[in-house]
A and B are shown apart, each in its own frame.
Chain A
């Protein structure tokens, strides 16, 4: 028995020598496509970690990896054209973020693998049949934003107990946002908070929503997770500051430009993790066999400067839970 193992091992060792020598990694140039919702400048903090993730897996842009960048600049109607360009470039994987962009890619191709970075509810929106076994050509990460919209409202109520009438900004062009808005309505009802629902699709509609808010005078603003609002974050947060509207938003980026609070998974981390899926797929994994991953870490970010501007004192209980505080 031992002798047989020994013989097998010896033979295997002899056979393994030449094959091991031949198994060197070939440095061919791989081409992937990134479909951005906003612009490179506005999503710089997200594509940075994505690139870092790729680098840590041995990909060097220009050497063995080429990334085709396409930016929709907040105009979702551009997606089909940009996706066609990427497919025409024969990219091996498309990376995108958000439900509208993901749905656009899903509509455009069933063969080119797609890594979605932060999709609120991929099962609910019919992008994948299940998280564990997505099947098809799509995999990636969910931001579970619909599950957390209620939590954000709860945090807002805790931080600013006086909130009774909240304006909710959501993208009516996104099927996800339709679900999200419903979740917020349910949560708000349980907290006896009145909702001013503002579904918008474009910058013009945002401007129109601003007008509505000025007219309706809500005492808080909740911006849901959609890349449209990431694109127009400065515009919206400037308005919120000007109108003294506190809020707990999905993106910490909104807090960075003057928003009061944000709660949710780290989008930067999700972008970093996306590189893992790209790597797996480039190495031949079937995206349908890679489970969609849920975030496990959630950050509460508080902007005390904004609070000061709003004339608010954030309770200690909230500050204690904050993972990041802007003084």
Chain B
């Protein structure tokens, strides 16, 4: 596995940018969802509360108009009731009756300030008998003819008559109220009622701070308004939209229209039936709908606060979602950079934690296989690749722990190489060794021999450990013959170039101790014991081209090997002389056809 060190460096600036993009995306999504819900619910709520409020306002205003109409009707009714006291029949002689009536009328003027003038019309003649005024000199017996006057006729026929509103002195609105006397009394009393007094009434009707009530008569003439100057100026409202609408009976209660001051107003009306007057109640839209505005502002503030909260919550949530993702990313990055020991720490208790666990598990497996790969490449130095992989895949501890085993050990080296290397160019010496080990290596792999160690031109190899090999001596002998032939050819080639080198080998079979020797990083799997020493000494004893073997080897491989005894020789490090057996060749086998089996 090749660690991606370069990748890590180029990928470094990206994470922060990518993270913030993810945070922004999540935050935006959450905020938009929450704010959207808030705005939609706020708008729907506002719409319905607008409907409800305007309906309620219309209803309240209509009630106000109705109560204002009732108040104004009562004003007229009270005048009528006060006049009633003067209507009782008298049983006095005419002179006395007139005096009594004048006194009654004066009393009435005292009690009813709205009445400016009051006249008595004789029922039979239709002529004015008495006129009592608040301002002018009283008139007795003017004889003014009322016989064809609508006031006289109306009251005579119906008992009561309200004249249309008229303006006295071109300024004050007046109403003539004519009443017929009770029982036998046929005379008609006509009072001139100053409608300026309705002003007091209308000004006191509560229609809100900027709202107002006003009254128009049957001709659309303004007869009462809190701003008295409008009344005194004889304002004609017959063409005002709310008045025409009300007259047409199409007047939508609580309609929004232009008020008298030019402002938009919410207008409702009620009729004063006996007078055919209309009372209007108007409130400026801004005031009438103030509760609605308050509600709108409240909703707006709530929505704004909600949006703010949702943005904050969105950011927090997004951070919480993204933080484990970021940890995963960083972990993957570090693992990618080769830190196979790294463990990703995500404790979210959800799929992300599961993912982190899976990555951790994968990493530990990755580390195991990476370790194996490293071990294999180390073992390849002294085992054939096949063997090395076999070792790695099997229980390594069993193999590497030191143990005793029967093995066949083979030593070989070049003769005269030390002298040659001391005088030759190092490049030439290296080239020789290169060719030499190439040739040996092919045979070592072929016969699946374990390389014990090599130094300079010397090589030690053995059979039956760790790879079991039942005919280890035979194999060793076969390999030795093959090597001698291969190296023999090399020697001939070198000889042509003037290099006088030789090649000798020694083989011994016996028990040895096997295991690792060396430091933690640099170690050999090798064998130690007298059999190794013996093989080494036999190699030393061998002349160029000779293969010396021990008795134990011959005992194992006598079927295929032909030997000559060279006698017993004392060898260094061995307690007694050892018989030296020189291999002559292989039994009926052409040396060129030697192979593992």
Contact = CB atoms under 8 A, between A and B. Distances in A.
Given A289-B229, A293-B232, A320-B107, A9 B285 contact: yes
A98 interface: no
A25 interface: no
B293 interface: yes
Given A131-B170, A133-B233, A150 B296 contact: no
- Chain A CB count within 10 A is highest, among B113, B229, B232, B296, for B229
Interface in B253-311: 256, 264, 285-286, 289, 292-293, 296-297
Contacts of B136: 147-148, 150-151
A63 interface: no
A132 B133 contact: no
Given A2-B51, A289-B233, A13 B293 contact: yes
A147 B135 contact: yes
B137 A190 contact: yes
A103 B171 CA distance: 22
Nearest to A187: B137
Interface in A269-323: 280, 289-294, 296-298, 317, 320-321
A10 interface: yes
B171 A12 contact: no
A10 B54 CA distance: 13
Contacts of A289: 229, 233
Contacts of A280: 229
Contact of A10 (B106, B110, B135, B296): B296
A120 B26 CA distance: 85
Contacts of A187: 137
B562 interface: no
A154 B196 CA distance: 26
A190 B140 CA distance: 12
B102 to A, nearest CB: 9
A294 B172 contact: yes
A130 B50 contact: no
Contacts of B169: 131, 294
Contacts of B51: 2
Contact of B234 (A2, A13, A132, A154): A132
Contacts of A132: 167, 170-171, 232-234
Contact of A151 (B135, B194, B234, B297): B135
- Chain B CB count within 10 A is highest, among A16, A132, A190, A292, for A132
Interface in B33-67: 46-47, 50-51, 54
Interface string B369-399: 0000000000000000000000000000000
B256 A154 contact: no
A16 B288 CA distance: 14
Contact of B170 (A12, A130, A150, A296): A130
Contacts of B50: 2, 5-6, 9
Nearest to A152: B137
Given A131-B232, A132-B171, A3 B103 contact: no
A144 B135 contact: yes
Interface string B318-331: 00000000000000
B311 to A, nearest CB: 23
B428 interface: no
Q: Is the interface of A mostly helix, strand, loop or mixed?
A: helix
B490 interface: no
B247 to A, nearest CB: 23
A291 B47 contact: no
A22 to B, nearest CB: 14
A38 to B, nearest CB: 26
A190 to B, nearest CB: 7
Interface in A108-163: 130-133, 144, 147-148, 150-151, 153-154
Given A296-B194, A296-B196, A9 B233 contact: no
A273 to B, nearest CB: 10
Contacts of A317: 103, 106
A150 to B, nearest CB: 4
B264 to A, nearest CB: 8
Contact of B286 (A2, A12, A297): A12
Given A132-B171, A317-B103, A151 B137 contact: yes
A12 B46 CA distance: 15
Interface string B158-171: 00000000010111
Interface string B169-194: 11110000000000000000000001
A317 B132 CA distance: 14
B188 to A, nearest CB: 24
B47 to A, nearest CB: 6
Interface in A152-211: 153-154, 187, 190
A9 B289 contact: yes
Contact of A296 (B106, B109, B113): B113
B346 interface: no
Given A2-B51, A132-B234, A154-B137, A294 B171 contact: yes
Interface in A1-20: 2-3, 5-6, 9-10, 12-13, 16, 20
A287 B169 CA distance: 19
Nearest to A290: B229
A294 B199 CA distance: 14
B583 interface: no
A151 B133 contact: yes
Given A2-B51, A9-B292, A317-B103, A293 B228 contact: yes
Contacts of A293: 228, 232
Interface in B196-253: 196-197, 228-229, 232-234
Nearest to A147: B135
A138 B169 CA distance: 18
A325 B137 CA distance: 22
Contacts of A154: 137-138
A23 to B, nearest CB: 11
A53 B197 CA distance: 20
A226 B113 CA distance: 26
Contact of B197 (A20, A144, A292, A296): A296
Interface string B121-139: 0000000000001111110
A144 B194 CA distance: 16
Contacts of B296: 10, 13
B47 A3 contact: yes
B284 to A, nearest CB: 10
- Chain B CB count within 10 A is highest, among A151, A289, A297, for A151
Contacts of B289: 9, 13
A150 B137 contact: yes
A292 B172 CA distance: 10
A242 to B, nearest CB: 30
A93 B293 CA distance: 40
A6 B47 contact: yes
A39 to B, nearest CB: 31
A148 B135 contact: yes
A291 B113 contact: no
B171 A131 contact: yes
Q: Which 6 A-B pairs have the closest CB atoms?
A: A291-B232, A131-B171, A150-B137, A13-B293, A132-B171, A6-B50
24 contacts: A6-B46, A6-B50, A9-B289, A12-B264, A13-B297, A130-B170, A130-B171, A131-B171, A132-B170, A132-B232, A144-B135, A147-B136, A150-B136, A150-B137, A187-B137, A289-B233, A291-B171, A291-B228, A292-B171, A296-B113, A298-B134, A298-B135, A320-B106, A321-B107
Interface of A: 2-3, 5-6, 9-10, 12-13, 16, 20, 130-133, 144, 147-148, 150-151, 153-154, 187, 190, 280, 289-294, 296-298, 317, 320-321
Given A9-B293, A132-B170, A132-B233, 10 more contacts: A2-B51, A9-B50, A9-B292, A12-B286, A148-B136, A280-B229, A289-B233, A317-B103, A321-B107, A321-B109
